[in-house]
A and B are shown apart, each in its own frame.
Chain A
Amino acid sequence: MNTPHRIVTPMRRVRGLGAARSGTRDFWHQRVTAVAGIPLTIAFMIIVIALMGRGHAAVAQILGSPLVAVVMLLFIVNTAYHMWIGMQEIILDYVHDDRLKLPSLMANTFFVFAVAFASAFAVLKLSFGV
């Protein structure tokens, strides 16, 4: 018992705050965005179904109306954050080599920002009618 042994306990992981260096914050935010996502996703589905098959003018007008636009923006922002955390979790589960892990995490961030900004911009443009 007196030779120095390497004893790795979960404490080491906690000190390093996990593979993404951010502790349990992501886990909690994943739950918060999941809870918020329940009504927002249902609202999103109702909006899509209501717009199905309508002409361009009607779709543009409805999507740009304040209530629908705000719900769509909330759905976009909430989902973007939720799926960013979710994909990061998937990447951290399967990709262990830093040379691949860091670019994958970056690509996740780029993808989410691109999709979210494109979607949000379109809704805002329809709302402000420019």
Chain B
Amino acid sequence: MADPEAPTVDGASRPLSPHLQIYRLTLTMAMSIAHRLTGAALYFGMVLVAWWLIAVAAGPNAYAGLAWFMGSLFGRLILFGYTWALLHHLLGGIRHLIWDTLHGLEPVERERLAAATLVGSIGLTIVIWGIGYLVMGGSR
């Protein structure tokens, strides 16, 4: 964007677009923010992935420490949040890619896509954890 402070040809200062806080919060806007927040959370979450792989490579003792932490209530909460963030960002990313092809941008479509992201990510998280507990018998 051009510098908003720059004078126009007739010397008048340019009008500024409304500030972020002046907009009414919409679902698409909230999902956009959520995409950025989950992206940032996953960014730091990659430390967990590295920790997991290093622990396995380091041997049974290191792995036991990690398994204990991930099995604790706090560890499970982190993993549950990580599952949701990953699914939400994945679905949100697909939505972004659809929008990049100029599809799904009509008012009703884009609301539906945004809602689908939220419902889909929460639903899939519950399904995955349900499978984890029911089929695989929780922590083995």
Contact = CB atoms under 8 A, between A and B. Distances in A.
Interface of B: 1-3, 6-9, 11, 36, 39-40, 42-43, 46-47, 49-50, 53-54, 56-57, 59-60, 63-64, 83, 86, 90, 93-94, 96-97, 100, 128, 131-132, 136, 138-140
Interface residues of A, number: 42
Contacts of A5: 7, 9, 11
B42 A83 contact: yes
Interface in A87-130: 87, 90, 115, 118-119, 121-123, 125-126
Contacts of B128: 45, 49
Chain A interface main SS type: helix
Interface in A38-73: 38, 41-42, 45, 49, 52-54, 56-57, 59-60, 63, 72
A87 B43 contact: yes
Interface of A: 1, 5-10, 12-13, 31, 34-35, 37-38, 41-42, 45, 49, 52-54, 56-57, 59-60, 63, 72, 76, 79-80, 83, 86-87, 90, 115, 118-119, 121-123, 125-126
Contact of B50 (A63, A90, A115): A115
A67 B86 CA distance: 23
B97 A35 contact: yes
A60 B62 CA distance: 12
Chain A to chain B: the 6 pairs with minimum beta-carbon distance, closest first: A53-B140, A122-B53, A122-B57, A56-B60, A118-B50, A56-B63
Contact of B56 (A79, A83, A122): A122
Given A41-B90, A53-B140, A7 B9 contact: yes
